[in-house]
Chain A
Amino acid sequence: MKSVSLLLALGLGAAVFAATSCGGNPAPQTPTPNADSAAAAARARADSEAAAQAERDRQAREEADRVARQRQADSIAALARASEEVRTTLAAMIHFDLDKSNIRPGDAATLDQKVAILQANPQLRIRVGGHCDERGSDEYNLALGNRRAQSAKQYLVSHGIDAGRIETQSWGEEKPLVDGHDESAWSQNRRDEFEPISGGDNLRRP
């Protein structure tokens, strides 16, 4: 309403100016727009401007939505990437010397990463599987694989992870990672494997 009366006032002002400025130079007779048509024009203009404004608003909103959606998608992708990365880190195996179950110094760092992941993801529960190479006794290797899984679990627990979040199992020499009968195969087969058993879908970076 306010803008309409303003436009109306401007229109009247323009009409006054036109009347007063035709003094010496006889201006071509122009029909004085009547008040009704001026108002209609003003209304039409106002309408189209409002429509344009609404369109701009709508576009802005869409753009914002799109950006937001993109940002969300980006962040989901990033999260997924992070989750995948974390999962890979979590699955990194540790290895053992022949007939030994103590954690090698180099593998402590690997386990420290798992500690951080478990701390950053309190819903995560994991399983540690102990494995052996084919050289030892078949049945003794079940006990040795158990020791190897327990070693990793004890390390994680001693670094603050709740024992209830870590299951252990032993496969002895029954599931070799690498087929082969040399030290290269054996050293890869003497290992602990780590896998999430629950809460492992969206893992956060530590």
Chain B
Amino acid sequence: MAVSRLGGWTVRASVAAVLFLAVYPSNRLVAQDTSAIDRGVRIGIIYRPGVRPGLVMLPRTGQGLDSVRVMVARDLDYSDRFEVITLPGGDSIRLASTTGPRRSSAGGATATKGGTAGALNYPLYQALGADFALDITAAGDTTVATLHDIAAASVRRAVRVQLPRSSDPDFRQAVHRLADQTLQAAVGTPGIAATRILFVKDGKVYRIDQDGADQKLVSSTDRQAMSPAWGADGRHFAYMEFQAGKGWLYLQEMGSGKRTAVATTGSALDFTPAFSPDGQTMAFSRATEEGTDLYTINIKNNCCLRRLTVGRFSDNLSPTFSPDGQRIAFISTRPGLPQLYVMAADGTDQQLFAPFDYGVTGASNAPEWSPDGQSVAFHRDVAGTLQVFVLDVRTRTVRQLTSVGRNEDPTWAPDSRHLAFVSDRSGYRQLWIIDLDTGRIRPLLQQSGARLPAWSPRLSEATSSTP
């Protein structure tokens, strides 16, 4: 009985949905992202085709650098700053070049002296649409990434690094740093290859490279954890852990794993920690009998708890610092539903940040200020499901980034143009990355249940090493 009735409901509901769609087709046609993931999706973003320079990765064999080449090529692809051109047939292209491929099987040493510049068939690569060609070779224990400027028919830069052995835990980050140096040489801005993302899965905090490799458990107990956050130096992170009915905030060193409880935590439910850019202060939410309010504490001296909001009948939570440390964006339920607010870092001058229509706009949550200070990403309830939005700080206008499935908890890459977020567009909740400039979307993981991502700052050599 119950089953058939339920079935009836389902049928009726779907009929209603179909009717709804049939009656209001035009209203539903909002240009948004689609579920196609490989083609690159454009959403509320002006896409300028052809602006991205073409980059071709020169094929080489027999130097033991295959994995380096694959990783660098993928990093440059994931930077979304190039059209990475794959050569059909691999070596055949090189063989077809008029000067002929100089087989540097004796070692890459000669290939790095600029002598190869003349050997490269620049007109051919230009015809292929390449602006840059990248050649990665080995010279003894040095790896050389030679970036050719095709239009100038010369070597733009040769980056020489000594990579650790591939079994070394720092190997992948070292290769990512090489990719970032190459990117910097080509387009003049730092890359995001040498970064990591923290996330929560099954109540534990994990760390993963931005290319989806090298996943590691970093939370140190079996207690349920939430809300990881990076310190601006990339060496520390914080997270919340349930313990005896309270929410505890912990600071942990990424390298050593040493963790300490934040002062005054453990008396209530503390959650959503956020570091100030100078690393001195942690802002967080504390739920008590009076509701949830924002506090800051000096984490260098473990002192000076300061309450920033007083909302007896509203909750204030999810703080995020502006990159200059002067302001804190946060969520407040003072208008009824949670919405995005902003205040000075000392708690004064609290005001609405993202405009909303009372009674129309859905709940807004999970804000994160972009590293360039120009935007705040957050998610908002749209017709019963969550979608990622971006607020333009200067004009205080918002735009919706996603519309396929449920999309939430956005976190900025250090280049302020990529966002990692949680989406169930593939059928289960996992982490995805979107490039705001091109609208291209890629899955970071192929695992169900990942959530609450936090993207690291750029990780320097010292910060990325893992003992």
Contact = CB atoms under 8 A, between A and B. Distances in A.
Contact of A140 (B245, B247, B331, B452): B331
A147 B224 CA distance: 21
Interface stretch (B206-214, B287-295, B395-403): B287-295
Contacts of A138: 226, 366, 408-409, 451-452
Interface stretch (A18-26, A82-90, A168-176): A168-176
A127 B245 contact: yes
B183 interface: no
A136 interface: yes
Interface string A153-181: 10000000000000111111010000000
B246 A140 contact: no
Contact of A153 (B271, B289, B292, B337): B289
Contacts of A167: 245
Contacts of A174: 203, 224, 226, 242
A146 interface: yes
A138 B226 CA distance: 9
Contact of A170 (B224, B287, B452): B287
Interface string B214-238: 0000000000101100000000000
Given A138-B226, A170-B269, A143 B289 contact: no
B189 to A, nearest CB: 32
A140 B291 contact: no
A143 B203 contact: no
Interface string B236-269: 0000001001110000000000000000000001
B423 interface: no
Interface in B257-312: 269, 271-272, 285, 287-289, 291-292
B379 interface: yes
A20 B201 CA distance: 115
B256 to A, nearest CB: 28
B383 to A, nearest CB: 12
Which of the listed residues B224, B289, B318, B331 has the most CB atoms from chain A within 10 Å of its own CB? B289
B362 to A, nearest CB: 10
Interface string B105-135: 0000000000000000000000000000000
Contact of B365 (A137, A146, A147, A150): A137
Contact of B291 (A129, A136, A150, A172): A150
Nearest to A139: B272
B317 A143 contact: yes
Given A127-B245, A142-B271, A150-B291, A99 B363 contact: yes
Contacts, number: 79
Interface string B359-377: 0000101100000000000
Interface in B371-421: 379, 384, 386, 408-409
Contacts of B246: 169
Nearest to A98: B384
Given A99-B363, A147-B315, A168-B289, A137 B269 contact: no
Nearest to A136: B363
Contacts of A140: 315, 317-318, 331, 338, 363, 365-366
B312 to A, nearest CB: 11
A144 B331 CA distance: 13
Given A142-B269, A169-B269, A171-B242, A147 B291 contact: yes
Contacts of A169: 245-246, 269
Interface in A37-83: none
Contacts of B287: 142-143, 146, 170
A143 B315 contact: yes
Interface in B129-165: none
A68 to B, nearest CB: 44
A137 B379 contact: yes
Contacts of B242: 171, 174
Contacts of B384: 135
Interface in A76-128: 99, 127
Contact of B247 (A99, A129, A142): A142
Nearest to B379: A137
A120 B201 CA distance: 44
In order of increasing CB-CB distance, the 9 nearest A-B pairs are: A137-B365, A169-B245, A146-B287, A143-B292, A143-B315, A140-B365, A142-B271, A139-B272, A143-B317
Given A142-B247, A147-B291, 7 more contacts: A138-B366, A139-B318, A140-B331, A142-B226, A142-B271, A146-B291, A169-B246
